[in-house]
Amino acid sequence: MDCSSPLDISLNLNTNSFDSNFPAKLPKKEVKASTSGGVESKWLVKDKSASELREELNRVSSENKKIKEMLATVWENYNALHHHLEKLQSQKSPEIDHIEQPTKKRKQDPEEFLGFPNGLSSGKTENSSSNQYHHHHHQQHEQKNQLLTCKRPVTDSFNKVKVSTVYVPADSSDTSLTVKDGYQWRKYGQKVTRDNPSPRAYFRCSFAPSCPVKKKVQRSAEDPSILVATYEGTHNHLGPNASEGDATTQVGSSTVTLDMVHGGHRLALEKNKRGTMQEVLVQQMASSLTNDSNFTAALAAAITGRLMEQSRT
């Protein structure tokens, strides 16, 4: 995994200062030293209003504590979800299909679509998908619809087309719907969908037709700074720049590896129907943390870094 990133994504939410006795213990001089610029002079000048400062410090530290707790909860939820998912995958549970949502809708909402049960592995080990492609994409299409609509009973074709969803932070001013993942893609269509003002781009692997993989990229309706890439199928060749199965995403100068295959902690935020509650919880927490998209992005990057760190140890 390539997680060396030029981007500074250290969890800079005062987690370094999460030492429980941080606020009480810290002498004012240290506070002064740890702050910078104009803020520093402010601290110096207001030396006499120490009680005010202490109050503010306490307030900030309690906020930090809350954030820390939230992150811990997110992490717990993530782990729980992850374990659950692994269990399901190992069992190849057939009943995964008929959980909730007996929706009569023709198609699921995009956000629901993102909660695709099969979404976790881009299938490095799965190569049966390539077999069916030369029957043409109709079959694939059928299977996909089968999956989407939950209309028919589960058959063993269920697992043939791997679908995974990857959330990639991207500059919201960047209108190009490109997610660099080490593979070469050829765009074959673009559509504006009903539930999302931003268009959806359709890509095929440039190795097509021998490689059946397709991807859809669309800006998240909720958070325009996030690109949602949906991969369908499995590459039957090695990627030109990346190890197979890893989606190495370059955002600006930073490189974030989105490992969708290995058992370790994944960076991609992926939804599972059974994990929807957790996901919603996470999102609510996230939105309650801030309305500032910059903060959100920084937080996401920070969490990503932490997850990566832990997954390596």
Per CB under 7 A, residues contacting DNA are 104-107, 137, 140-141, 145, 149, 151, 184-191, 193-195, 200-202, 206, 214, 216
Round to whole Å and give the CA distance between 21 and 312.
29
What minimum distance in Å lies between the beta carbon of 158 and DNA? 15
What minimum distance in Å lies between the beta carbon of 261 and DNA? 23
**184 or 287, CB closer to DNA?**
184
What minimum distance in Å lies between the beta carbon of 160 and DNA? 15
**49 or 101, CB closer to DNA?**
101
Nearest C-alpha neighbor of 9 from the set 279, 305, 308: 305
What minimum distance in Å lies between the beta carbon of 149 and DNA? 5
**25 or 106, CB closer to DNA?**
106
**Could you check whether the bond before residue 199 is cis, i.e. omega within 30 degrees of 0?**
no
**239 or 305, CB closer to DNA?**
239
**158 or 185, CB closer to DNA?**
185
What minimum distance in Å lies between the beta carbon of 28 and DNA? 56
What minimum distance in Å lies between the beta carbon of 216 and DNA? 6
Tokens encoding 186? 């050829």
What minimum distance in Å lies between the beta carbon of 105 and DNA? 6
**188 or 295, CB closer to DNA?**
188
Distances (CA, A) of 122 to 119, 160, 204, 236: 8, 11, 15, 11
**89 or 149, CB closer to DNA?**
149
